[in-house]
Amino acid sequence: MPISEIDLETALKKKFPDAQIECQDLAGDEDHWEVKIVDPIFQGRSRIQQHKMVQEAVVDHDIHALSIKTADK
């Protein structure tokens, strides 16, 4: 089931309230997303740990494809 950009951003903002978040619908079908999240919470964490945190934020949503880019600043 696709997820709208607003719903995706809302789910991410719950987990990362102070982050800069960008969501891009890669295929125009609300099912293939790229997210860019900049949040100091990622500092000192491995890329895998960072991506798992993002995946946990959207675990209740059925997203076919999710490209994740994270940074701490």
Residue type, 29: D
- pLDDT tens, 25-71? 999 999 999 999 999 999 999 999 999 999 999 999 989 999 999 99
| Model pTM score | 0.94
The reported pLDDT for the residue numbered 1 is: 77
At the fourth CATH level, which superfamily is domain 5-71? BolA-like (3.30.300.90)
Cα 13 to Cα 26: distance, rounded to the nearest angstrom: 20
72: closest CA among 34, 45, 33, 48?
45
Return the structure tokens found at 17.
């309230």
The reported pLDDT for the residue numbered 5 is: 97
Whether 12 has a pLDDT exceeding 80, the answer reads yes
CA dihedral 56, 61, 67, 70 (to 10 degrees): -40
